[in-house]
Amino acid sequence: MKAHLTLLAAGLLLAACGTPAPTPDSGIQPPPAWQSFDTATARTDNQQWWTHFGSPQLNRLIEQARRESYDLAAAMARVRQAEASAVIAGAPLLPAVTAGLNGTRQELLRGKGYSQLDVNRDNRTIDYYDAHLSASYELDFWGGKRAARNSALSSLSASQFDRATVELTLLSGVANSYTQALSLREQQRIAEQNLDNAQRVLDLVQTRYDAGSATALELSQQKSLVAAQQRRLPQVQQQAREALISLAALLGQPVQSVTLDDENFDRLHWPAIDAGVPSDLLSRRPDIAAAEARLAAAQADISVARAAMLPSVTLGLSLATGADIAEQLLRNNVYNLTAGLAAPIFNNGRLKAERDRATARQEELLELYRAAIINGFADVEKALNGIHGLDQQRQWQSEELHQAQSAFDIAQSRYQAGAEDLLTVLETQRTLYAAQDMNVQLRLARVQASVALYRALGGGWRVM
DSSP line for 4-71: HHHHHHHHHHHHH---PPPPP-------SS-SS---TT-B---TTGGGGG--HHHHHHHHHHHHH-HH
- Superfamily covering domain 28-92+141-306+350-456: Outer membrane efflux proteins (OEP) (1.20.1600.10)
The whole-angstrom separation of Cα 36 and Cα 34 is 6
Bridge partners for 128 per DSSP? 104
Q: What is the mean pLDDT of the chain?
A: 87
pLDDT at position 154 is 96
Q: Which of 423, 365, 452 is nearest to 25 (CA)?
A: 365
pLDDT at position 173 is 96
Single-letter code of the amino acid located at 265: F
Place 11 in a pLDDT band, splitting at 50, 70 and 90: very low
pTM listed for this prediction = 0.84
pLDDT at position 15 is 41
Max mean pLDDT among 37-41, 112-116, 141-145, 457-461 falls in: 141-145
Question: By three-state DSSP, how is residue 286 classified?
Answer: helix
- 394 neighbors 446 (Cβ within 8 angstroms): yes
- 457 neighbors 285 (Cβ within 8 angstroms): yes
Residue 55 neighbours by CB under 8 Å, 6+ apart: 178, 263, 267, 268
Q: Between 275 and 368, whose confidence is greater?
A: 368
Lowest average pLDDT, out of 95-104, 113-122, 331-340, goes to 113-122
Q: Between 177 and 324, whose confidence is greater?
A: 177
Question: By three-state DSSP, how is residue 158 classified?
Answer: helix
For range 228-238, the mean pLDDT? 92
Q: Which of 25, 26, 46 is nearest to 380 (CA)?
A: 46
The whole-angstrom separation of Cα 430 and Cα 85 is 64
pLDDT of 118 over the 80 cut = no
- 154 neighbors 296 (Cβ within 8 angstroms): yes
Lowest average pLDDT, out of 27-41, 373-387, 427-441, goes to 27-41
Encode pLDDT of 169-209 as tens digits.
999 999 999 999 999 999 999 999 989 988 988 998 899 89
The whole-angstrom separation of Cα 177 and Cα 369 is 30
pLDDT of 326 over the 60 cut = yes
> Where are the chain's structural domains?
28-92+141-306+350-456
pLDDT of 116 over the 60 cut = no
List Cα–Cα distances, 317 to 11, 17, 121, 337, 341, in angstroms. 13, 22, 41, 5, 15
The whole-angstrom separation of Cα 193 and Cα 196 is 5
pLDDT of 396 over the 60 cut = yes
| CB-count exposure of residue 342 (10 Å: 0-12, 13-18, 19+) | exposed
The whole-angstrom separation of Cα 278 and Cα 275 is 8
Angle, alpha carbons 72-78-80 (nearest 5°): 110
